[in-house]
Structure 1
Amino acid sequence: MEQQLDTAQWYRTFAGHTRGHSQDYERLCSAIADDQTILTLLAELPQPRRQPNLLLASVRYHQGPVHDVPRFRDWLVEHWPQVRTTMLQRRTQTNEVGRCATLLPVLAALPQPLALIEVGASAGLCLYPDRYSYRYHGDLHTELGPTHSPVVLDCTVAGRPPLPDSPPRVAWRAGIDLNPLDVTSPDDITWLECLVWPGQPERLRTLNAAVSVARAQPPTLWSGDLNTGIQDLLRRVPTGATPVVMHTAVLAYLDRGARERFATTMREFDGYWISNESPSVFPEINAHAPAAPTEAETFLMAVNGTPVAFTAPHGQRMDWFADHHPAAL
Structure 2
Amino acid sequence: MRTTVDNDAPTAERYRAFAEVEARGMSETYDAWALGVADDPATIALIDELPPAKRQPNLVFSAARFRGSEPAPYDDFRRWLAAHWPEVRETAETHATQTNEAGRCALHVPALAEIPGPLALLEVGASAGLCLYPDRYSYRYPGHGRLDPADGTSRVILDCETRGTEPVPVPASLPEVAWRAGIDLNPLDVTDPDDLAWLDALIWPEHDDRRERLRAAATIVAADPPRLEAGDLNERLAALAAEAPAEATLVVLHTAVIAYLDEAARARFVETVRELPGHWLSVEGRSIVPGIRVRDDVPNDSTDFVLALDGVQRAWAQPHGRAVTWVPNP
What is the letter of the counterpart of residue 303 of structure 2? E
Which consecutive residues of structure 2, in runs of 5 or more, have no partner in the other structure? 1-5
The equivalent of 2:14 in structure 1 is: 10
Aligned pair 1:107/2:120, yes or no?
Answer: no
Q: Where does residue 226 of structure 1 map in the other structure?
A: 233
Hey, what's the Cα distance between the residues in 2 that align with 1:25 and 1:170?
A: 37
Alignment of 1:1-329 (within 5 A): 6-16=10-20, 17-137=22-142, 140-146=143-149, 147-160=152-165, 161-287=168-294, 289-291=295-297, 293-323=299-329
* % identity of equivalent residues: 48
Aligned equivalents of 1:14 and 1:293: distance in 2? 22
Instruction: Provide the C-alpha distance between the structure 2 equivalents of 1:142 and 1:127, rounded to a whole number of angstroms.
Output: 23
Cα RMSD (Å): 1.7
Q: Which letter does structure 1 place at the counterpart of 2:307?
A: M
Shift of 1:70: 1.5
What is the identity, as a one-letter code, of the residue corresponding to 2:148?
G
Give 1:7 deviation, angstroms. 2.0
Q: Compared with structure 1, are the counterparts of its residues 5 and 222 closer, same or farther at alpha carbon in structure 2 (3 Å cutoff)?
A: closer
Counterpart Cα distance in 1 of 2:129 and 2:213? 14
Aligned-pair distance for 1:25? 1.3
Distance 1:193 1:116, change over 3 A: same
Q: Distance in 2 between matches of 1:294 and 1:246?
A: 22
Q: Contact 1:4/1:40 (CA < 8 Å) preserved in 2?
A: no
Instruction: Give the distance between the partners of 1:232 and 1:260, measured in 2 at CA.
Output: 18
Q: In 2 relative to 1, CA 45–286 (structure 1 residues): closer, same or farther, beyond 3 Å?
A: farther
Aligned length: 320
Provide TM-score, normalisation by structure 1. Answer: 0.93
Measured at CA, do residues 312 and 155 of structure 1 come closer, stay the same or move farther in structure 2, by a change above 3 Å?
A: same
Q: Greater share of helix residues, 1 or 2?
A: 1
Q: SS of the counterpart of 1:194?
A: helix
Kindly provide the CA deviation profile for residues 109-131 of structure 1, in whole angstroms up to 9, marking residues without a partner as x: 20100000000000000000000
TM-score between the two structures when normalised by the length of structure 2: 0.93
8 Å Cα contact 1:155-1:315 kept in structure 2: yes
AA partner of residue 49 (structure 1): K
The CA distance in 2 between the partners of 1:59 and 1:8, in whole Å, is: 18
